[in-house]
Amino acid sequence: MSFTRNPAPSQTPRIDECDHMLCPHCGGHHITHERVDVYWRGEDKVQGTHVCTTSEGTSVDGHMLHNPSARRWGLNIYFSCEWCGHGSQLSISQHKGHTVIEHK
């Protein structure tokens, strides 16, 4: 498997021919999940529910600070790359009826 170095992280998830998501920093395909954050709130509400899961456990609070959606539900999955050591974040959010996916 060959890959090309990407000097600036891509916002669009990159997938190889085997359907593996690639690191946005180096193009490596060995990225591991470190943390998952799920955010829920009603449309345009300030308050909501935030669930954070790591290998150390799960917590629930009302923090919306890192919700990728300014108005509704959101999901962040945090990764670390075994090849270059950089961290990355896959975000899924809703915006005006669209589902937006970013990998940075």
pLDDT tens digits for range 18-61: 989 999 999 998 999 999 999 999 888 889 999 999 999 999 99
Q: What is the pTM of this model?
A: 0.81
Distance from the Cα of residue 34 to its chain's centroid: 10
User: Does the pLDDT value for residue 71 go beyond 80?
Assistant: yes
pLDDT for position 33: 92
The backbone region for 44, taken as left when phi is positive above 0, alpha when psi lies in -120 to 50, beta otherwise, is: left
Query: Which residue pairs, CB below 8 angstroms and at least 24 apart, start in 11-15?
Result: 11/102, 11/103, 11/104, 12/101, 12/102, 12/103, 13/90, 13/101, 13/102, 13/103, 14/103
CB 61 within 8 A of CB 3: no
> What's the token pair of residue 92?
């899924």
pLDDT for position 90: 94
Average pLDDT of the chain, as a whole number: 87
> What's the token pair of residue 36?
């998952």
